[in-house]
Amino acid sequence: TFTAWCNSHLRKAGTQIENIEEDFRDGLKLMLLLEVISGERLAKPERGKMRVHKISNVNKALDFIASKGVKLVSIGAEEIVDGNVKMTLGMIWTIILRFAIQDISVEETSAKEGLLLWCQRKTAPYKNVNIQNFHISWKDGLGFCALIHRHRPELIDYGKLRKDDPLTNLNTAFDVAEKYLDIPKMLDAEDIVGTARPDEKAIMTYVSSFYHAFSGAQKAETAANRICKVLAVNQENEQLMEDYEKLASDLLEWIRRTIPWLENRAPENTMQAMQQKLEDFRDYRRLHKPPKVQEKCQLEINFNTLQTKLRLSNRPAFMPSEGKMVSDINNAWGGLEQAEKGYEEWLLNEIRRLERLDHLAEKFRQKASIHESWTDGKEAMLQQKDYETATLSEIKALLKKHEAFESDLAAHQDRVEQIAAIAQELNELDYYDSPSVNARCQKICDQWDNLGALTQKRREALERTEKLLETIDQLYLEYAKRAAPFNNWMEGAMEDLQDTFIVHTIEEIQGLTTAHEQFKATLPDADKERQAILGIHNEVSKIVQTYHVNMAGTNPYTTITPHEINGKWEHVRQLVPRRDQALMEEHARQQQNERLRKQFGAQANVIGPWIQTKMEEIGRISIEMHGTLEDQLNHLRQYEKSIVNYKPKIDQLEGDHQLIQEALIFDNKHTNYTMEHIRVGWEQLLTTIARTINEVENQILTRDAKGISQEQMNEFRASFNHFDRDHSGTLGPEEFKACLISLGYDIGNDAQGEAEFARIMSIVDPNRMGVVTFQAFIDFMSRETADTDTADQVMASFKILAGDKNYITVDELRRELPPDQAEYCIARMAPYTGRDAVPGALDYMSFSTALYGESDL
């Protein structure tokens, strides 16, 4: 067996051994065998034949074996050279074990176990084979057949084999092995069958040949498999690489396409467009990129897998083609993400910008519109020429209005600036419609400048006009200030010149004339003033003409026109001579009046005293009592006559007086006597003479009636005159009292006396005049000295008619008195209410006293 085995190997080297104990002694074949088995070259053998050469060669062989990790225990080269069979066989077995069996690595088991395992594995499908060892299990030969059939089924028809025919089985197996597998028969079939326990080593050796044969084929198969696997791996890898490349280029292509899109910074004009873009971007992020992310991930994974696979399969690492390297991909991806970020940022900025732009644009439009509406019409307003026809106060009002407008304008200045600022910002932010914005802004600014210029111009015009009007106004004022007093003066003068005067004396008229002359002296100065005033007016006119200021207004300070002034002046001038005339006439009149006065005065001065004289004379007559009353009477009558004869003179005076009155002369220094005086005096005179005559007549009567003698009368008269101290023809109470006393009346200064005097006074002065006339005095005196009260007499008379009763009846009255008197008494008498009264009794006593105005009650 061992020999066969060795030969199977040596055959390859073109040699054989015949005898295992001998042929290896020189070591040459040993070395050859080792070379063939291991496939390695040993050191060059010694070509000598000497022992030492043999030992050297054997040692080489042994060294080689040892170098393979085989412990050759107690096997020396000398023994082998000497042909020690046991040693040589042992060495051969060790070689077999090492190179044939020990090579068998099946799952890292030891050579034997490995081999066993291999057999078990290969024969596993064969149910009737159970390999547990390297001896008995093989006895039925099925093991070998199975092995063969397992690897080369066409060589054995395994189905026909029978367990109970081990010989056949074994022989079949050995034959086939030898024929087709190049495995020499190392075992004998009968040997195996006949032995209870076949030689384990031999079987092992033979089985190991199978192993090597099959594993060779297996190796080939395995190699083919491996190659296929490798190829498959290669193919797979190639596919993976291809996939990678494809994926990579797709991805890169996609990135290449996408980046420009992300780098596109073409701005949109509208928010919607931008927002659409943002929407697209979001879609990109949500829908388009994720798959690509996954792709990239996949790419990475693929790459890593590929690399791992390659590494695992000992292949060189995958180097992607130019530009498709991982770094390229990563770079590209990085670029994409950068672009993305940039893009998103840009989108948002753009949107913000557009938003701001929209907002600004709107703001601009709004502000511009507001401003335009404000400026609307302002230019027209500023160019109004309204100041040309305005008065001073109107101008001032216009100026104020203008001032207000100017401040309004100033206030709008910053608004314009705002508008411009917004326009500027829009420009800076690259607003798509900047041109129209700018155009509008420009228009606004131009208009603004224009407004400013117009405002200024208007201000100047207004101020200029104001100044002119102020000047005019000043002049007007001046004019008014002077015209008014002058006008007043003229009016006063006119009044004075036309003043109707009432003068009563020459002095007065002369005074007026003097005043008039004085006035005339002031005329030249007045005229100068007039000229000055007119001069002012002319100045105004000049200004108006020169500056074309509208004189719509008149002098507000006065209504006195120059025309008026001149008119009045003329009037005044006319009045002056008229006044001269009037004064002269009056003067004449006054002179005439004076003449009248004189005339009257002369007359009055004669008449007045004459009357006075006569009055005195008449008074005296009555007082002096020369001669008898008759004589007095005659005297008085003479006077009367002379008075009557004097009347014409009075009349004449009256005539003069009338003239004087007609001439409206109210005073007369030529005489103290007024007409009234004279009249009164005259009437008094007439009255006095009449009264005096009457008095005397009465005295005559009284004397005759009362029987007062002349002497008595004279006495009365004398007393009266004596006490009539003021020759008034009357006595006051004290005078009268004294008079009474002087005449013998005892009037004491007691209450009785006072009462008595009072009684007397009430008689002589019943009307309480406070004076006692001579007549009353005479009456009183005569009464006292005469009989008793007439009232008593009447009463006594009634008593007689009443038959001595205290009352009288109606019948008695009617019987005794004439009817009229009777009825008179009946009507007036009160009923008698005495104790002895009877119905129809009348009280004649009260009646009697009442007749005389005296009743005792």
Contact partners, residue 793, CB within 8 Å, separation at least 6: 787
CB of 854 to other proteins, least distance (A): 5
The phi, psi pair for 731, rounded to 5°, reads -115, 140
Nearer to other proteins, 44 or 768 (CB): 768
Q: Which helix (H) or strand (E) holds 567?
A: helix 562-624
Considering beta carbons, is residue 393 or 855 the nearer one to other proteins?
Answer: 855
Does residue 772 contact residue 730 with C-beta atoms inside 8 Å? yes
Query: Taking every pair of C-alpha atoms in the chain, what is the biggest distance, in angstroms?
Result: 262
Distance of CA 715 to the CA centre of its chain: 122
Nearest approach in angstroms of CB 730 to other proteins is: 18
Min dist. Cβ of residue 802 to other proteins (A): 18
What burial letters (b/e) apply to 11-46, b meaning 16+ CB within 10 Å? eeeebebeebbebbbbbbbbbbbbbbbbeeebeebb
- Select 389 or 855, whichever has its Cβ closest to other proteins: 855
CA dist 95 and 37 (Å) reads 9
**Which one, 445 or 763, has the nearer CB to other proteins?**
763
Give the nearer residue to other proteins in terms of CB position, either 281 or 847: 847
* Smallest distance, other proteins to C-beta of residue 851, A: 8
Closest approach, Cβ 641 to other proteins, in A, equals: 35
* Phi, psi of 556, rounded to the nearest 5 degrees: -75, -15
Q: Which is nearer to other proteins, 501 or 824 (CB)?
A: 824
Closest contact distance (angstroms) between CB of 687 and other proteins is: 21
129/144 Cα distance (integer angstroms): 9
Residue 248: strand, helix, or coil = helix
Structure tokens at 651: 């009349």
Residue 645, amino acid: N
**One-letter amino acid of 535:** G
CB 833 to other proteins: min, Å: 7
- CB of 814: closest distance to other proteins in angstroms? 20
**Nearest to other proteins of 385, 768 (CB atom):** 768
Q: Which two tokens stand for residue 33?
A: 């065998």
Residue 840: CB minimum distance to other proteins, A: 17
Nearer to other proteins, 389 or 752 (CB): 752
394, 553 in Cβ contact below 8 A? no
Output 480 or 829, the one with its CB closest to other proteins: 829
Nearer to other proteins, 323 or 831 (CB): 831
Which among 287, 297, 281, 292 has a CA at the least distance from the CA of 256?
292
Q: Which is nearer to other proteins, 471 or 846 (CB)?
A: 846
Nearer to other proteins among residue 651 and residue 854 (C-beta): 854
**Least distance to other proteins, CB of residue 834, Å:** 10
Q: In what order do the strands lie in the sheet with 808-809?
A: 808-809, 841-843, 830-831
Identify the burial level of 408 via C-beta atoms within 10 angstroms of its C-beta, where 0-12 means exposed, 13-18 middle and 19 or more buried. exposed
CB of 855: closest distance to other proteins in angstroms? Answer: 5
Question: Minimum CB separation from other proteins for residue 759, in Å?
Answer: 5
Nearer to other proteins, 327 or 752 (CB): 752
Contacts of 93-98 with CB under 8 Å at 24 or more apart are 93/2, 93/201, 94/65, 94/70, 95/33, 95/34, 95/37, 95/65, 95/70, 96/2, 96/5, 96/205, 96/208, 97/70, 98/65, 98/68, 98/69, 98/70
316 or 853, CB closer to other proteins? 853
Task: State the residues that interact with other proteins by CB under 8 A.
Answer: 752, 754-756, 758-759, 761-763, 766-768, 828, 830, 833, 846-847, 849-851, 853-857
Q: From CA 335, how far away is CA 320, in angstroms rounded?
A: 19
Closer CB to other proteins, 554 or 855, in the complex: 855
Residue among 48 and 834 whose Cβ is closer to other proteins: 834
Q: Shortest gap between Cβ of 719 and other proteins (angstroms)?
A: 23
In angstroms, what CA-CA distances link 517 with 520, 554, 579, 582, 586? 5, 38, 10, 13, 15
Closest separation in Å from C-beta 725 to other proteins: 24
DSSP 749: S
Beta bridge partners of 808: 842
Cα–Cα distance measured from residue 178 to residue 11, given in angstroms and rounded to the nearest whole number: 14
Which residue's CB is nearer to other proteins, number 327 or number 855? 855
Nearest CA to 481 among 540, 533, 437? 533
Q: Which is nearer to other proteins, 682 or 757 (CB)?
A: 757
- Return the bridge partners of 772, or none: 731
Please enumerate in sequence order all residues whose Cβ is within 8 A of that of 600, keeping only pairs 6 or more positions apart, or say none.
653, 656, 657, 660, 668, 670, 671, 675
DSSP 370-434: HHHHHHTTHHHHHT--GGGG--HHHHHHHHHHHHHHHHHHHHHHHHHHHHHHHHHHHHHTT-TTH
- Smallest separation, CB 768 to other proteins (Å): 8
The whole-angstrom distance between residue 69's C-alpha and the CA centroid of its chain comes to: 111
Tokens matching residue 436: 């129209």
The answer to whether the beta carbons of residues 343 and 281 sit under 8 Å apart is yes
The least distance separating other proteins from the CB of residue 837, rounded to whole angstroms, comes to: 12
Cα 300 from chain centre: 69
